[in-house]
Amino acid sequence: MKVWQAFLEALQSLAANKMRSGLTILGIVIGVAAVIAMISIGRGAQNSITGSIEGIGTNLLFVFRGGDESVRNPKHLTLEDSQALADPFAAPSVAGVAPLLQGSGEVTYGREGTVTSLIGVTPDYETVRNVRLTEGAFFNQEHMLGRASVAILGPDTADTLFDRHEGVVGETIRIEGQPFRVVGVLAPEGGSTFGNQDDRVLVPLTTAQTRLIRRGGLNRVDVVIVQAVNAEAVPQAVDEISQILRTRHRTAIGADDFTVLTQQDFLDTAKVITNVLTIFLGGIAAISLLVGGIGIMNIMLVSVTERTREIGLRKALGARKSDILIQFLTESSVLSLVGGIIGILLGWGIAILVGRIAAANDAPIDPSIGLDVILIATLFSTAVGLFFGLYPANRAANLEPVEALRYE
To 5 degrees, how large is the angle CA 19–CA 20–CA 25?
95
Please list the alpha-helical segments (H only) found in 146-262.
155-162, 205-207, 234-249
The pLDDT tens digits for 251-281 are 776 677 778 887 776 667 777 777 777 777 7
Q: How many CB atoms lie within 10 A of CB 125?
A: 23
Candidates 90, 92, 69; CA nearest to 81 is 90
The predicted model scores a pTM of: 0.60
Angle between helices 263-306 and 321-360 (to 10 degrees): 140
- Residues whose CB falls within 8 Å of the CB of residue 300, separated by 6 or more in sequence, listed in order: 328, 331, 332, 388, 389, 392, 393
What's phi and psi for 64, nearest 5 deg?
-120, 160
3-class DSSP assignment, residue 184: strand
DSSP structural state of residue 171 = -
| Separation between Cα atoms, residue 113 and residue 149, nearest integer Å | 18
Candidates 93, 78, 62; CA nearest to 235 is 93
3-class DSSP assignment, residue 376: helix
Candidates 198, 168, 193, 196; CA nearest to 183 is 168
What's phi and psi for 157, nearest 5 deg?
-65, -40
* Residue 379: its H or E element: helix 371-397
* Residue 263: its H or E element: helix 263-306
Q: How many CB atoms lie within 10 A of CB 350?
A: 18
In the prediction, which pLDDT does 404 show?
47
- Residues whose CB falls within 8 Å of the CB of residue 321, separated by 6 or more in sequence, listed in order: 397, 398
* DSSP string across 267-280: HHHHHHHHHHHHHH
pLDDT < 70 positions in the chain: 1-16, 50-58, 67-74, 190-196, 216-218, 253-254, 265-267, 285, 289, 300-319, 321-325, 328, 361-364, 385, 388-408
Burial track 159-190 (b if 16+ CB lie within 10 A, e otherwise): bbbbeebeebbeeebebeeeebebbbbbeeee
Q: Where are the domains of the chain?
A: 3-53+268-406, 67-256
| Strands 150-153, 195-196: pairing kind | unpaired
| Separation between Cα atoms, residue 187 and residue 191, nearest integer Å | 13
In the prediction, which pLDDT does 202 show?
92
